[in-house]
């Protein structure tokens, strides 16, 4: 490698700002690489929508659990070992043939991390946050989710420190599936409320 006249890869303005702040905070001992790794690996590897899917699948197969889940979401979710940062106070709202629930945060991007992981970019975006409260049907249609006129849409604007999880309807034709198989069907989008859970044949 030629050392002389070596030009390192240029970095963006934001990367330079991050590196600058990072270097100062490392020097002051206010952040550590171990803590960074702990946080990043937790949300990259351990905490994601499969947690929420397990909650939903359990509720589908166990009516008693479902009752507890709708009564006290935080406690019932903790029964499966999930909870913590940005899920300290959970409310679970149930979709039925007459009610469809969907979650948004118009003021920032509040999201139930312990059960869904970190939010996707679209959830944090201006179009989603501005439009979901004023034209939920139009936004849902963009996600391919058609909600009939007579079905009431409930939009949950998580403006405080309570986080919402949608309990989707169990699709028809899944009677023979195990709890584990059911969990595999449940998507992040269905638990935000922008999609429905599809039966295996239609899920492909």
Q: Which residues are catalytic?
A: 105, 108-110
In Å, what is the CA distance from 21 to each residue of 30, 53, 129?
11, 37, 30
| In the complex, minimum distance from the CB of residue 21 to another protein, in angstroms, rounded to a whole number | 6
| In the complex, minimum distance from the CB of residue 51 to another protein, in angstroms, rounded to a whole number | 13
**Element (H or E) spanning 165, and its range?**
strand 163-167
- Based on CB atoms, which residue is closest to another protein, 61 or 83? 83
- Based on CB atoms, which residue is closest to another protein, 61 or 154? 154
Phi-psi region of 84 (alpha: psi -120 to 50; beta: other; left: phi over 0): left
- Based on CB atoms, which residue is closest to another protein, 97 or 176? 97
| In the complex, minimum distance from the CB of residue 61 to another protein, in angstroms, rounded to a whole number | 26
Gap between the Cα atoms of 67 and 59, Å rounded? 8
Gap between the Cα atoms of 148 and 171, Å rounded? 17
Packing angle of the helix pair 49-61, 63-71 (nearest 10 deg):
120
| In the complex, minimum distance from the CB of residue 57 to another protein, in angstroms, rounded to a whole number | 22
Ranges assigned E (strand) in 29-151: 90-94, 99-104
- Based on CB atoms, which residue is closest to another protein, 61 or 153? 153
Gap between the Cα atoms of 55 and 179, Å rounded? 10
């Amino acid at each position: 490698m030629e050392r002389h006249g070596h030009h390192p890869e240029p970095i963006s303005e934001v990367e330079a700002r991050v590196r600058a702040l990072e270097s100062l905070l490392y020097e002051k001992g206010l952040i550590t690489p171990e803590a960074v790794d702990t946080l990043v690996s937790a949300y990259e590897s351990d905490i994601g929508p499969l947690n929420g899917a397990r909650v939903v699948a359990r509720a589908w197969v166990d009516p008693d659990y479902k009752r507890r889940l709708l009564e006290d979401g935080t406690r019932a979710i903790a029964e499966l070992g999930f909870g913590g940062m940005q899920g300290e106070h959970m409310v679970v709202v149930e979709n039925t043939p007459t009610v469809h629930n969907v979650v948004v945060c118009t003021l920032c991007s509040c999201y139930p991390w312990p059960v869904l992981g970190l939010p996707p970019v679209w959830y944090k975006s201006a179009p989603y946050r501005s439009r979901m409260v004023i034209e939920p049907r139009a936004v849902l249609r963009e996600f391919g989710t058609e909600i009939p006129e007579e079905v009431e849409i409930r939009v949950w604007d998580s403006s405080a420190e309570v986080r919402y999880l949608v309990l989707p309807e169990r699709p028809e034709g899944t009677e023979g599936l195990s709890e584990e198989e059911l969990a595999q069907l449940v998507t992040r989008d269905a638990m935000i409320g922008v999609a429905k859970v599809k039966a295996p044949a239609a899920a492909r």
